[in-house]
Structure 1
């Protein structure tokens, strides 16, 4: 076989690459040759073109060497060879010293800039909010804290997470937007290290919020973070209000013990399951929750009102024009929707819904009630419900349990999910605890396939709940939303075929996917992380609200309901909202708003109005609903 002759250019390139592979010494040698190849010819050109250049060749070469030496900082001395060599040696030593000094200074500056970039200085703010951990909830929490501080002259939010400081600031700036008067401070490091956690100055903070990561071991890390917080505080007297969230109820006791007596620990999965069930039983209720939990609209406040002490609670319902009274805070215990004849004791706080804490002022509205428009009569009796549950995840057993708690005899839940061993076992376990009033049936199938949904009698169900699968290890947290969107597309096609709007409740992980979902603008969508973030932000501003939300979101006790307006006032009759409040008082309820279905597709609030003025007059129609706080 004839060996192909390698071209000279390729051999030269290969030889050059081989010499570079020998390390830094080869690189320095090539750099020196390159510099000499440029500097020597240019120095010679300068000497030969100089009119004052010496005449002899020796003197001209000496001038070339002098220019070259000055350019490369090699001394440039001329004369005997030993003299030239010593000059070069001294120049090389000086060059080595200067380059080493520059390198040390550059390294020190780089380390300092890196430390500053990571955020290693102690926060010197007072009364600020501290957010520990990073998840999708952080954007909701920080955004709500910024909204809560909108009327403050000076406020700050410090975030500590095991992420790059600049990356956190950029992500929060992109998703939250303007911070207004609130100063954002980010610190980088693990939240379980007390030394790093102390950088946020938690002892002087107004509240500390601990967020769980979107990973299986998140709850254990929340407990460790709470323990690190205890170690970072100078003493029990410096303990700030703490709000934390865990996913599994098995960690709630440990987290509560670590958080201390004043700490509040939420079970995110349980709260999400409750909200899903409430929205399934009362379509549109998720809009009410969203309105009451964010700081953009009306929210809960605790206000003292000595002028009402000794009077019955029913009088307080019509004592505010621009605020809605829903209960009493007696000590540490909330009394939501107490009987109208319950006396208001001295020291009680009123639980009100208002635009702000300075918009609650007394104004007797009893004279606005139009008795002729009030409707009296028993409410329609409850009937058994049929619920279709599409999909199965770790929250599904909690959803079934919540449905069982409020089920009427004869109610049924049909589950459509894959036939995996884990799913069959979990459905079986949930069925054994469902009770006699609720029947649970598993239909095996893929909810993303059209034939699976076509086999179902969709019209026979009172509500449809769509759940995404739990993300697999290493999978993006919002991956289950992809399957949920496919299922919603198929349900939308069935709606077009049957010409019936299905009462669908959808659980999504990423709020950005709501805009992609083929559902109506006023449909019930539960963004679990966002709702928990809103709830944590509200409680961080007033920890006494934790007990209020606990009862509102529970299956028993007083909760938020949407009732037909025809049960309260005469239809097609214009009357002020004070008349609705009076009618609800007679039924043992507190009216806090209404929903106009005729305006649901046009208005930004989807027809929902929370805490309207008692003087607001409107004509009530058959599709209108009244939002009340009361028993089911």
Structure 2
């Protein structure tokens, strides 16, 4: 493989190269190519080989109304007169959820949108409640160690998710991506795998995603009506009789330091885990007008009592 990453930006190429080298010590056999231009310009987009791109990632610029520029860039890509690819795979960042509907219309079935602020806010809130979660996420989403992969496995079509879980020796099955794009993490064990569905696994590398040598014999036993031999996959822990547990919400006191656009999202996420009468203390240097705005943003929360404090720096 000789992968390449092409970056189109209005920033100076030398500045971008310095930033990339500061973050990536060794790109190995990956070529990084720099192009200067405006992503909304069809002429500048023609400096790239869009028709040969496996995926196209569009990042929100640090400007006013970044979502408008994202939508215009998608329209420029999809309506490029030089286009000859049947379907693009576009992943774009959206800053304001209110603009998501317009973005989906512009992207059609060729674009997926990431509401970055909400994802970051939810991770922050959940990491506060579960120690070690940030370490696990960093491990799974980095290119070091094991990673998450999606794979079509024709041998598993017509089988259940239970079969898939125990069909690998060197990776762990965690879910399914259905043919319509729906992702299900740990679905019901009797969920049938259909044509077009993909297995979601955690593996050291994609070439390690191989069905175990005893897979066919186990399936033959099970589907011939014979009792299936007991097999263990040391990479997978599965409860034969899963128990649904309802966590009891308790009254808590939480402290939020500072305030920005992610803060209301963090507060809403925390609110789902606490009982009525819980307190959220917000420490901020905002003036009275901003404090009233903060209170207005938090009115939708039902179970948290809010206290605003002043912070003088």
Q: Secondary structure of 1:366's match?
A: coil
Closer/same/farther in 2, CA of residues 447 and 329 from structure 1, 3 Å limit: farther
Query: 1:412: which partner in 2?
Result: 279
Query: 1:292: which partner in 2?
Result: 140
Partners of 2:305 and 2:231 in 1: CA distance: 49
Q: Secondary structure of 1:415's match?
A: strand
Q: CA deviation at 1:323?
A: 0.9
Describe how 1:358-507 pairs up with structure 2 within 5 A.
Answer: 358-363=207-212, 366-367=231-232, 381-384=247-250, 385-435=252-302, 438-446=303-311
Closer/same/farther in 2, CA of residues 312 and 228 from structure 1, 3 Å limit: closer
Q: 1:178 aligns with which of 9, 26, 34?
A: 26
Closer/same/farther in 2, CA of residues 277 and 321 from structure 1, 3 Å limit: same
In the alignment, is residue 243 of structure 1 matched against residue 108 of structure 2? Answer: no
Larger Rg: 1
Q: Secondary structure of 1:261's match?
A: helix
Query: 2:103: which partner in 1?
Result: 255
Describe how 1:100-119 pairs up with structure 2 within 5 A.
Answer: none
Partners of 1:177 and 1:253 in 2: CA distance: 39
Does structure 2 conserve the Cα–Cα contact (< 8 Å) formed by 1:418 and 1:446? yes
Q: Secondary structure of 1:260's match?
A: helix
Q: CA deviation at 1:346?
A: 5.2
Does structure 2 conserve the Cα–Cα contact (< 8 Å) formed by 1:417 and 1:423? no
Query: 2:221: which partner in 1?
Result: none
Q: TM-score, normalised by structure 1?
A: 0.42
Q: Which has the higher helix share?
A: 1
Q: CA deviation at 1:321?
A: 2.2
Q: TM-score, normalised by structure 2?
A: 0.81
Q: 2:204 aligns with which of 351, 355, 359?
A: 355
Does structure 1 conserve the Cα–Cα contact (< 8 Å) formed by 2:278 and 2:305? no
Q: Secondary structure of 2:71's match?
A: helix
Q: Secondary structure of 1:331's match?
A: coil
In the alignment, is residue 314 of structure 1 matched against residue 162 of structure 2? Answer: yes
Query: 1:117: which partner in 2?
Result: none
Q: CA deviation at 1:216?
A: 3.3
Closer/same/farther in 2, CA of residues 233 and 272 from structure 1, 3 Å limit: farther
Does structure 2 conserve the Cα–Cα contact (< 8 Å) formed by 1:204 and 1:238? no
In the alignment, is residue 197 of structure 1 matched against residue 45 of structure 2? Answer: yes
Q: CA deviation at 1:381?
A: 4.3
Describe how 1:123-138 pairs up with structure 2 within 5 A.
Answer: none
**What runs of 5+ residues in structure 1 fail to find an aligned partner?**
1-151, 449-632
In the alignment, is residue 274 of structure 1 matched against residue 122 of structure 2? Answer: yes
Q: Secondary structure of 1:234's match?
A: coil
Query: 2:191: which partner in 1?
Result: 342
Partners of 2:209 and 2:24 in 1: CA distance: 29
Partners of 2:312 and 2:123 in 1: CA distance: 22
Q: 1:326 aligns with which of 162, 174, 180?
A: 174
Q: Secondary structure of 1:326's match?
A: strand
Query: 1:214: which partner in 2?
Result: 62
Partners of 1:392 and 1:322 in 2: CA distance: 45
Partners of 2:65 and 2:242 in 1: CA distance: 54
CA RMSD after TM alignment: 2.9
Q: CA deviation at 1:402?
A: 1.8
Query: 1:496: which partner in 2?
Result: none
Closer/same/farther in 2, CA of residues 226 and 310 from structure 1, 3 Å limit: closer
How many residues get paired?
291
Does structure 2 conserve the Cα–Cα contact (< 8 Å) formed by 1:431 and 1:440? no
Q: CA deviation at 1:266?
A: 1.0
Q: Secondary structure of 2:298's match?
A: helix
Does structure 1 conserve the Cα–Cα contact (< 8 Å) formed by 2:166 and 2:232? no
Partners of 1:278 and 1:234 in 2: CA distance: 45
Q: Secondary structure of 2:57's match?
A: strand
Does structure 2 conserve the Cα–Cα contact (< 8 Å) formed by 1:298 and 1:353? yes
Query: 1:573: which partner in 2?
Result: none
